[in-house]
Each structure stands twice: as structure tokens, then as C-alpha cells.
Amino acid sequence: MHRPSGKRYPKSVQFWLLLAFLGVTALLGGGARGDVASLVILRPLAGLLCGVALATLRREQVTENRGLFAFAAAVIVYVAIQLVPLPPVIWHMLPGREIVAQIDTATGLGPTWRPISMAPLATWNALYSLLVPLVVLLLCVQIPPRQRRDLLPFFIAFGVISGLIGLLQVTSGYSSPLYFYRITNHDAAVGLFANRNHQAIFLACIFPMAAVLASTGVRTPEQARVRTGLMIAVALVIFPLLLVTGSRAGFVLGLIGIASTVALYRRPALDIPTKRKTRTIAGPMVLAVAIVAGIALLMVLFTRAKTLSRITAADQLEDLRFRVWGPIVDMAWTYFPTGSGIGSFAEVFQVHEPEKLLRLSYLNHAHNDWLEVYMTGGLIGCALLLTAVVVIARDSLAAWRNATPGAERTFGRLASVLFAMLGLASVADYPLRAPSIACLAVVAIFWLGDAARARTFTATSTKNGGSLGAARLADQAQG
């Protein structure tokens, strides 16, 4: 069995650019509303880095990832097409536009050219939002698989920091300056996000990521013990932080994330066996810190955790987000097959909102991204979504069927778990619209693709006698 040599390779410039951009996105990308002030910094920076990444992109990198580039181009072009003005004769023939045509007639506006989208400004916001994940895509294709896997500790650290900030938020009160977004859940632990559900979903994803980090990237038994102890401590800290968010969906996903660690964790393959017992204080220190942190967090949990009380609330079946799904399906059919326009949900829903659902507040999203894509994206949007699901499902199945040990397989399985969790979360929320979570999803796409390619190389090496394919696989694993 091939084991990693442990040899360190220098990181590329693209790796450091990507890591820096992920850090900026973690700080500024906790919300995707068009009026979020931090996006004024994040999106222009993303546009600048897109130009830098395109300047260093090589033809073979595009060729090797042509399917991914084709899908990204299709999404961008589709959103952009919805902003192209159409002549009145064509626009009035689109489904669901009758009320606007009636207003034109009643007000005497006359022939007016309009884009497909019912809310062009919201669609512009959706188009600009694609810049952030596009940067991650363009930089990820330029770094080798080994360096893509080295991004995992960043996401775990980001989750821990965001969780601890959330703890400080709920302990310092409603008016805490640690709430970084004007429109947010001021009574919950949102951390670096604007939405408590997004915070909880990201924290839930830490459990499978910690299991994989404990399984890979160590050379000696001492390193393995320290890494495992550290990841156990992370899990012990994350779970109470997850409860403090007050998110029911996050709590359920957290249980799924914990259960997935059983399938993801594997004893690390070590280069250097233990020759003699060595004393180390790292393990006890990590355990002591975890115990102290756990006690402190549990004290806060008993007084501030809202998740458990919300789960047992008698009126949870009356939650507004569940009651709007039926009307949203009706609205989606009204605008099918063109859709109402990507990002147009809030404005269009207000036009058709049933009287029994009227509130002083408004719905900014459908709180079911699957339905929202159906309503706003129409037939083409559903086709693009179905394409992504089929490809992810195919590569996920390949990752779990691959019996060859290796980091690529482990990270491919992790990616499949993350996509399953994000897919489930999208049934009751919209996590992939948060820039920082969208970046995690793009990196996970590459983890999954690397696993699929590693399986292909393994099969090729077996067919050709093993030597050439195994050497190529070893080079990629080290790369």
C-alpha cells in the first residue's frame, strides 16, 4: 500500500491568494443581501482577483476541468440573459407578466422594453454574487490536489472562530457590537454570519471535516494522537456552540454530521512507527482546555440555548416557512417555464402573497432553495440544478465505492457528506447564497472531482499492469 512520503512542497502563489481571499470572505461574506455594506469591498475584490486568476490560467487547466467551466459559464450566461431588455411584444407574452401589462395600459406608459426578470436590481445582485465563488473556482484549478486538501484546516478554524464570536454575542446582549450585520438575528449566536441558520449549518459541517482532518496528513503516532485529540476538542466545543445558535435545522444537521464521523474517520496510515514511548504534554493540554471550554459553554447553554426550546415549541408546525411552500409552488407554475428571474423572489412573492400569510415582516427568500430555483429560474434553472445534482451524486457514489486507500478518497467522501448536508439544509433555508458557504461548496467540488480522478487513475493502473498508473497517482497525491 502506498503511503504518503510526507515530503513538503512549497505552496504556490495561487494557493496563498486563495487562502487570503477565503479569509476575507469569512470576514465580509456572511450575508448576500444587496444592501450588505461589506459586499461593497468583497465583490470588487473578487472581480479584481478574477482578472488576476484569468491571467495565470493555462489552457490545459481549462481542458482538464471543461465540464466545470462549462457549467459555471452556463449559470453566468443564464443569469445575464435575464437582464437583457426585450421588446414589449415579446415581454408581454411571457407567463406571469399580465399584471404588469395591465398597469402599463392603465397608466398609459406605452411600449416599454423590459428584461425577463421581474426584479432586475435583484437579478443584478445575483449576478454580482457569482464573482465570489468564481474566484475560488479559477484559483482552485491552478493548484494541485494536495494544496486543495490543505484548505481544510482553514474551514475548521473559521467555524471555531465564528462559533466563539457567536457565544460572545449572546452573552453580551442584544445591542452587542459583535453583531456585524444591520439585518440579523440579534437574539442569537450568528457569529460571522447574518443568519443563525447559516451559522448553525456551517458549524454542523465541522464534525465531518474534523473527522477527516484527524484521519489524514500525519506521519507519526505522536502526531496522530495530537491531531485526534485536537479534533475531539474541536467537536466538544462546537456542539454546545451549535445549540446556542437556536437553529432547529442546524441541530438536526449537527446530529447528521456527528453520525457521519463514524464512516469518515479512519486510522491514519503512518510513515514512522513508534520506536519508544515519548512523553508529550500536548494531549493533556488539549483535553484540559476542552474540559474547561465545555464547562463554560454548558453554563451558557443552560441559560441561553434556544434550540431545545424551539424544537419542543407547540407551534412549530405553524412556522411560516412551511406554510408558504404551497403558494410558492403555485407562483412557480404561474411563471413557468421562464421563471420570474433569479433573485426576484421577495418582490414577486409580495405581488401574489395570500392574505392569510400577511405579516409586518416580509420573506426575503422562500426558505426552500429547491422551490426558489423552480420559481425564479424556471425550466433552465431546474435543468442546471438537476445537472449539478446528478454529477455530484455520480461522483459521490464513485468516492464511496472506491476501496483504494488514500487522501483523495477520504476527501471525496467528505465532500459527498457536505453536499448531502447542504442539500438537506436547502430544504428549509438557503445556505449556499451566503458567500462563505458558497466558497466551501466550490472547494468541496474539487475534493469530489479529485477523488473521481484518483479512482480513474487507479483503474487505469490496474488495467495496464500497475506501474505507470500508480506512479502518476503517487505524484498527484504528493503534488
pLDDT tens-digit series, residues 84-141: 999 988 988 899 988 887 887 788 777 788 999 999 999 999 999 999 999 999 999 9
Q: Taking the CA atoms of the chain, what radius of gyration do you get in angstroms?
A: 24
Rounded Cα distance between 265 and 212, Å, is: 6
Rounded Cα distance between 114 and 338, Å, is: 14
Q: Answer whether residue 467 shows pLDDT above 50.
A: no
Q: Answer whether residue 461 shows pLDDT above 60.
A: no
CB 441, CB 155: distance < 8 Å: no
**Residue percentage of the chain with pLDDT more than 70:** 82
Rounded Cα distance between 469 and 461, Å, is: 4
- The tens digit of pLDDT for each residue in 168-223 reads 888 887 778 888 888 888 878 899 999 999 999 999 999 999 999 998 877 778 87
Amino acid residing at 338: T
Poorest-confidence range of 202-206, 231-235, 278-282? 278-282
Domain range summary for the chain, segments of one domain joined by +: 149-271+281-311
What's the pLDDT at 187? Answer: 78
CB 409, CB 455: distance < 8 Å: yes
Say if residue 284 is exposed, middle or buried (CB neighbours under 10 Å; 0-12, 13-18, 19+). Answer: exposed
What rounded mean pLDDT belongs to the chain?
Answer: 84
